[in-house]
Amino acid sequence: MSLVKLTIKGISYSQTQNGAYALILNEVDGERKLPIVIGAFEAQSIAIALEKEIKPPRPLTHDLFKNFADRFDIVVKQVIIHKLVDGVFFSSIICERDRIEEIIDARTSDAIALALRFNAPIFTYKNILDKAGIYLKVSPIDENSKKEEGDDPLSSPETFGLTDDETVTGETYSQYSLAELYDLLESAVQNEDYEKAAKIRDEISKKES
């Protein structure tokens, strides 16, 4: 199976539901986006790694892992999102020490947080992107807007080139037909409703599997 390289497009969050974050990965040589719902701690860790100027006063968990790996000459070579089951993404961290390669299972959010700290590339398989990738309209970053010192790295989704007009509800989508789900997905994409789009996409994947 062929690998597709991904970059981090940004992080979006809900104004109405605490802990609801979406990490948006972008296909390097294409237009598809891969939204992955992640937790608040992992979202903050990824945001801090993206914002090079922000240095936490004490190491976060992923910073500690990086320091530990550096001390023992362990290098993260790449991260591969290798499986999607019932809306859950599974990832592997490819590490190397003394020219010996090891593969470590990891949550996708943790794997990406570490990839950023090691400047390691992120990949997924083409069949996963075919199954879970969607088209999202992304707003350009305002080059004139500057981040004030002391701002929370997650305080504004525009920091990462995304707008967030969505509202997250506890709605489930199992009662909808595939045709209805695709209509809902198109509407969510048009409204830049990333969390909702991810949930609908996951339900489509379940029904099509």
Let me know if domain 3-132 sits in CATH 3.10.690.10: yes
Strands 122-125 and 75-85: parallel
- The confidence band for 100, taking pLDDT boundaries of 50, 70 and 90, is very high
Cβ(168)–Cβ(16) under 8 Å?
A: yes
- 77 residue type, one letter: K
Residue 140 pLDDT greater than 60, yes or no: no
Q: What are the domain boundaries of the chain?
A: 3-132, 178-208
DSSP label of 167: -
Cβ(38)–Cβ(109) under 8 Å?
A: yes
Residue 166 pLDDT greater than 80, yes or no: no
- The confidence band for 171, taking pLDDT boundaries of 50, 70 and 90, is low
Highest mean pLDDT among 34-38, 125-129, 131-135, 146-150: 125-129
- Report pLDDT digits (tens) over 1-26: 799 999 999 888 654 456 668 899 99
Residue whose tokens read 């004139």: 144
CA distance 194 to 38: 12
- Report pLDDT digits (tens) over 43-66: 889 988 988 766 777 888 999 999
- Strands (E) in the chain, as ranges, are 3-13, 21-27, 33-38, 75-85, 88-97, 100-107, 122-125
CA dihedral 195, 3, 90, 174 (to 10 degrees): 40
